[in-house]
Amino acid sequence: MTDRYKQFALSLILTASINLFGASGVLCVLGSPRIAAAQQAQSDGPGHDDHEHENDNGEHAEHSAPDDHGAPDDHGATDDHGAVRLTQAEMDEFGVKIATAGPGVILNTLELPGEVVPNADRLAHIVPRFPGIAKEVRARIGDYVKKGQVLAVIESDESLAPFEVRTLISGTIIAKHITLGEAASRDRDAFVIADLSSVWVDVTVYQRDLNIVKVGQSAQVLIGHDVAHGTSRISYITPIVDEHTRTATARLVLTNKESLWRPGMFVTARVTVGEAEVPVAVPGTALQMFEGRTVVFVETDEGLIPQPVTLGRHNETTYEVLSGLPPGIRYVSKGGFTLKAELEKEAFGDGHAH
């Protein structure tokens, strides 16, 4: 009887153990390896990178959380307060340049299309006094003529007497509408003479620029591709805008001793619309967008930290800093992107776009 009982008990225990031990063991292994893997990953702690795939940035992911200050962080050059420490070698390697904040000049320019036209103040339209037949034409187009020089001889229809047509100014003949034997009339210019020693540049000013383009501003005039340039000032701006093109015209007067500027030429005028001396100016390369704000990285005891700044006037390369960057402070003038990226590093851990 005891034997029977023993037998039964044993078989019960052992079958139970099979089921528990065997089945649950297998279940355990097949079912939950990742939990353990994760635990292991956690126990490895930060600093070890050997679990490449479990994202080891989890522990850095929330720097903004106030209770996160105690988090051990020997990973990377970032510390809890968002400062970056770099060695000089690293700064050289990544092209991080330091400069001292100081005053600068901000030159604002505007490039506008323009056209060289004859100086209307130095233009002469020559017409014959009386209608008649051209008996003699002494000047050709393009000739330079002196004031009072005879350009043509015309036989008057009324008196049948020849009379001389003379130029009123010295200049170049830029148009000629008279041919030998032709009937010349007072209605038509026989000659147009322009004094090209100075020319006008009519610059197109668009509506949005009208409030910044002012008479007296200086401007460089470029013949495309920076080939040649002259400098002048805006002498006049049309008081009304063209009904058709909705643009105004600003006028520059250029001296043209070397006959460089030919009417009809298409040029670009680079108008200096603003020039300001500011107490703190930084190059555009110093500015970074960080957490939705514009920042400049500044040197502190803790390292390089992003300092939000407010900007004032600027041009394409230089920005005025109104606040946030006192003069004399050392700041990162170039290579700030590397620092910004370092600060954002924990956030882009998932960067492998999938």
Residues 62-91 that bind another protein (CB under 8 A): 62, 65, 75-77, 84, 86, 90
Binding another protein by CB under 8 A: which of 142, 240, 316, 328? 316
Per CB under 8 A, contacts with another protein among 253-272 are: 266, 268
> Smallest distance from the beta carbon of 310 to another protein, in angstroms?
16
**How many Å is the Cα radius of gyration of the chain?**
42
Asked whether the beta carbons of 137 and 128 are under 8 A apart, the reply is: no
- CB of 297 vs another protein, minimal distance in Å: 11
Residue among 158 and 243 whose Cβ is closer to another protein: 243
Decide: 151 and 139 in contact? Cβ < 8 Å.
Answer: yes
Residues 132 to 151 in contact with another protein, rule: CB under 8 A: none
Of 191 and 297, CB closest to another protein: 297
Kindly tell me which of 167 and 338 has the beta carbon lying closer to another protein.
Answer: 338
Is residue 36 at the binding interface for another protein, with CB under 8 A as the rule? yes
Task: Give CA–CA dist 213/238, Å, rounded.
Answer: 11
Stretch that binds another protein, among 32-40, 123-131, 139-147, 189-197 (CB under 8 A): 32-40
Question: Residue 54 interacts with another protein (CB under 8 A)?
Answer: yes
Strands 247-255 and 150-156: unpaired
Among residues 330 and 345, whose Cβ is nearest to another protein? 345
Check the CA dihedral 66-67-69-75 and report its sign. negative
Is residue 28 involved in binding another protein (CB under 8 A)? yes
Q: Min. distance of Cβ 303 from another protein in angstroms?
A: 11
Question: What backbone phi and psi angles, to 5 degrees, belong to 80?
Answer: -65, -30
Would you say 173 and 193 are in contact if contact means Cβ atoms under 8 Å apart? yes
206 touches another protein by CB under 8 A: yes
CA distance to 307, 326, 341, per residue, from 63 (Å): 17, 27, 15
Q: How far is the CB of 232 from another protein (least distance, A)?
A: 19
Q: Does 340 bind another protein (CB under 8 A)?
A: yes
Q: Closest distance between another protein and the C-beta of residue 52, in Å? A: 5
Residue of 21, 80, 103, 180 interacting with another protein (CB under 8 A): 21
Which of 169, 237 has the CB closer to another protein?
237
Spatial separation of the C-alpha atoms in residues 264 and 246, rounded to whole Å:
21
CB of 53 to another protein, least distance (A): 5
Single residue of 245, 259, 300, 323 touching another protein by CB under 8 A: 245
Closest separation in Å from C-beta 182 to another protein: 23
Contacting another protein within 100-119 (CB under 8 A): 111, 113
Residues 269-298 that bind another protein (CB under 8 A): 289, 292
Cβ-count burial 299-332 (b if 16+ within 10 Å, e if not): eeeebbbbbebebbbbbeebbbbeebbeeebebb
Under the phi-then-psi rule, with left for phi > 0, alpha for psi from -120 to 50, and beta for the rest, what region is 239?
alpha
**DSSP string across 274-334:** EEEEEEEEEEGGGEEEETTEEEEEEEETTEEEEEE-EEEEE-SSEEEEEES--TT-EEEEE
SS3 45: coil
Question: Binding of another protein at residue 326 (CB under 8 A)?
Answer: no
Q: Which is nearer to another protein, 155 or 275 (CB)?
A: 275
Q: Does 310 bind another protein (CB under 8 A)?
A: no
Q: What crossing angle do the helices spanning 24-31 and 33-44 adopt, rounded to 10°?
A: 60
Query: By CB under 8 A, how many residues form the interface with another protein?
Result: 83
**How does 38-55 read in b/e, with b if 16+ C-beta sit within 10 Å?**
eeebeeeebeeeeeeeee
Q: Is 206 helix (H, G, I), strand (E, B) or coil?
A: strand
Nearer to another protein, 86 or 252 (CB): 86
CB closer to another protein out of 130 and 206: 206
Q: Which residues, in sequence order, are bridge partners of residue 270?
A: 111, 220
